[in-house]
Chains A and B, each alone.
Chain A
Amino acid sequence: MSRSTRSKPGLERRRFLQQGALAGAALVAAPRVAEAQAAPAAQAPPPVMTHAAEGAEPADVLTLRDDERAGSDFMVDVFKSLGFEHFFANPGSSFRGLHESVINYGGNKSPELITCCHEESSVAMAHAYYKVDGKPAGVMAHGTVGLQHASMAIYNAWCDRVPVYVILGNYADAAIRRGAEWYHGVQDAAAMVRDFTKWDDFPWSLTHFAESAVRAYQVAMTPPMAPVVMVLDGELQERPIARGERLVVPKLSMPVPPQGERGAVEEVARMLVAAEYPVLVADRMARTPNGMTLLIELAETLQAAVIDQGSRMNFPSRHPLNQTLRARAAVTDADVIVGLELADYWGTVNALRDQLHRSSRQVAKANAKLVSITTGDLYIRANYQDFRRLQAVDLAIGADAEATLPPLIDAVKRLVTADRRRLFEERGAKLTQASRAAAEAARVAATYAWEASPVSVARLSAEVWAQIRGDDWSLVSSYYSNDQTNWPRRLWNFDKSYQWLGHAGGGGIGYGAPAAVGAALANRRHGRLSVAIQTDGDMMYAPGVIWTAAHHRIPLLWVMNNNRAYHQEIMHVQKMCNGRNRGIDRGEVGSQLVDPNIDFAKLAQSMGVHAEGPITNPNDLGPALRRAMAVVKKGEPALVDVVTQAR
């Protein structure tokens, strides 16, 4: 239905808004065009929100009749059909119609509304929620101010190729806008994020909405996945429709992820079987828990080294073929490297030296054969530069890596001879020895500064691991969580898909805290213990997420890695200080979070959360963690503030 053919209830509502709510603005019957042009001074001023307008008696109050329902009720029907279980939102009037339909018509169940204190938090929660659940969550926000808040988190999700379903409210028709709606109104709401979303639409009718809503879901969930935006007109949400009006909820038909071309897959198999030192490098590979299972099968068949770059949980951390802790050595030794959904292939086989004059060198052998399997080859956007440097490879397969693993495994198995198998076993034994040595070195490294105060991050990680290792745990946010060799990755036994959730994607700080809440919400139904190692600088972006966790009874153990600064930035400034010979003793100016120190325990307690700290003696940490875990196991969040060293 186009706007020009809207039904009578829509016109009535418009009349109510013009004659009623705007009456206090001295709006009179609209002049004819000719009259208005002849006497512009007599035109009514633009409608503005005034106290008088708000208080004026409406001329014509409309309520839904028994034979009517709201347009947004039908929207909820569509969203339910897509299987949404949660919508994250900070409330906003431009989607008030949908809000009301979610909580009343939909019963606030599937989707359930999760109250957030910042739109950036809403999106980050949905981002991490997907990584646990494998299903997108919805985010509702104003089309202007809400999206502006949300945009960095949408960019993170884009860079991480994670689907987030963003629903924006907007009053398109200027004739019916209240005062605030002018600030919240926009011609093209999605324009602001179009560079880093995959698709958007602004439907003009409910039928148009239904088709676009389903299409948006399909687009978001088809690899390479990415956020999508649906802009919902406020009037379309609020306009009554006849209960008998025939509106169809379209069937969702998900495209099958593309599999690599057979001949190319067989060529990769030949290269792998013939290789002396093949290395499998996985980044955004495991879309589903089966992705890890498949990579294990391929690696074990070949007895090949695996490097898990950590955007997804691709490979068990303690698998003997896991060479992540010695990744550079493995790449240097490789004669065949197969990249599986790598965000940065160039950075995998090259090194950039960040000094005053930057330089780079190739670390892979010059004659190493490079293979890429990624949906990244099928989709690229301009402007934002998350596509990284172009890496020439010997064989590029534009396909979904997880979908391509089964035929690749089959092809490899067909080619393996008894002689090759013997060589594979010898190689596997050496790799096992190397990974064990690396793991043992990590354990020993953690013993240094064991008794130090502030607490070393290694000690913190070891203490947390000692408490959770017997539980069904999930690390929902982690210290510099994009780093595949951070302390939990070095010390803990990650072997389940939900135990490691990758990172923010775009490097936007402020992701960790809300992501922990979103992931913990997804873990809650499975009874998992959600643990976050939470940096202080990240938490300070939007600490209202603590309240969200408390309000919705989301069990989550927050362990603050409170090093009282943005230390990575200090390192950058120090590099400038040194390179310019100006002395380094002021390098912390502008990046520290001291004077006053932030008391995160009090912050959490102010929002009704059990919290302890600041803990400076490492020997106090274990008991505090045990007390906090007891609270979490009762179904609530808890926080332990630990004052830590820089890195």
Chain B
Amino acid sequence: MKTESQESMLGANMARRSFLRYAGVGAASVGLLATAACHKDHNNPNPTTNGIDLGAKDDFAILNYAYALEQLEAAFYLQVVLTPYSGISASESALLTDIRDHEVLHREFFKAALGAKAIPALTPDFSSINFSSRTSVLAAAKAFEDTGVTAYDGAGYLIADANYLLIAGKIVSVEARHAALISNLITPGTFAGIDVVDPTNSLNKSATIADVLKIANTYLKTKVSAVNYGYVAS
């Protein structure tokens, strides 16, 4: 009988093989494989930067960027469900538990898919959030979800492989569904408010990697940089 850790290692290995296989036959195929072969491991943080760097300018950097944000969201909602705010309703509890489960799965998916290319686990810093306060928790949830949507929307064009872009697309719309729900929990009818959707053309706002990481790092002990996308954590 296999141990759980053996099984998960096997699973991760299988997933990684699949992932690399797709990378190998993807649109960027030859170049991507060649890059991958001599690619510096993402799990060796660059010592010249403060914390972790997303590494060379390629699809793995963008996927790790997504993985970093999903790690942060998963950690946040795990805490929200573990220590529910006072006065939480059954319906809010169920919805926030669903979101926790989605974010944990997004995190686990990127971890499995990236395999050895994955950045390490990040340590969050939620000291600015009062988990016993509904107002504080929902405000933080809104910040995470809205930032997540602008991050995926803003980084989509940086992805070279259509298969990876499709996966990002499958996730970002779920983040937008979360964002709309959280906004409505705070104030009904603000699911597409002017703070997140441009009222002149009704496009969701998008954000650069630098803008997003600046926000994300305020919730992280392990700071994330993206030197090759013009951002170093301070």
Query: Do the two chains bind?
Result: no
